[in-house]
Copies of this chain bind each other. A is one copy, B any other.
Amino acid sequence: MQVRSEETRQRILDVAARLFSDKGFDATGVAEICDASGVSKGAFYHHFPSKQTVFLQLLQDWLSGLDTQMTRTAQNASDVPSALLAMATEMKDVFTAADGRVHLFLEFWQQAGRHPDVWKEFIAPYRRYQQFFARIIEKGVAEGSLRAVDPQEAGHTLVALAVGVVVQGVLDPRAAAWDQVTRSAVQLLIEGMAARPGARASKER
């Protein structure tokens, strides 16, 4: 019974993702999600209190895998520059995940402009990633691989770079080898933040 229920929940999410993406959030009704997924309204409301809850769950599911991966990569790296470079390499998975989801992402953004509760959920990941990177930069400064840059600003810089590369990669996939651009960009930033020779052992590659 438990398995069946989990299947139902996932089917609602999959169908809703497709409908929101094709038709938009506003033009998609709960009745239509139920029809297309072969689920009763009772079953729908058993899993989700509202259409908006489904929408927000899609956003969270999208990013939760990324969170886990980033944390693991940061923990496994020998120092902060290696961690940042390893995360840049893993951005290729973000490109893959983003492909075909642009319309859904734009729907999130449009709804975020209209509904404060959607907005809060929509910006939460950026703030979380910024904090995540700020802490990594702090660690790099503490371990001596980075010079004393401002961790908050460096965190914003890393998130901005990631957002910009994904936006461009999704908009214009053939304009560049975006995974290579990402690595190269992070490499430049690492060199800009690296501890200076003389001040401590230089670590530029």
In the complex, chain B residues whose CB is within 8 Å of the CB of A115: none
A160 contacts B165, CB within 8 Å? yes
Q: Mark A56-85, 1 if CB is under 8 A from B, else 0.
A: 000000000000000000000000000000
Oligomer: number of copies:
2
Q: How far is the CA of A193 from the CA of B193 in the complex (A)?
A: 11
Is A30 among interface residues, defined by CB-CB distance under 8 A? no
Interface residues on A, range: 35 or more
A184 contacts B130, CB within 8 Å? no
Q: Mark A159-192, 1 if CB is under 8 A from B, else 0.
A: 1111111011001100110001100110111111
26 contacts between A and B (CB under 8 A): A102-B109, A102-B113, A106-B106, A123-B175, A126-B168, A126-B171, A127-B175, A130-B175, A153-B180, A153-B185, A154-B184, A156-B165, A156-B168, A156-B181, A156-B184, A156-B185, A157-B161, A160-B165, A160-B181, A161-B161, A167-B167, A188-B192, A188-B193, A190-B192, A192-B193, A204-B204
Residue numbers of A with Cβ under 8 A of B are 102-103, 106, 109-110, 112-113, 122-123, 126-127, 130, 149-150, 152-154, 156-157, 159-165, 167-168, 171-172, 175-176, 180-181, 184-185, 187-193, 204-205
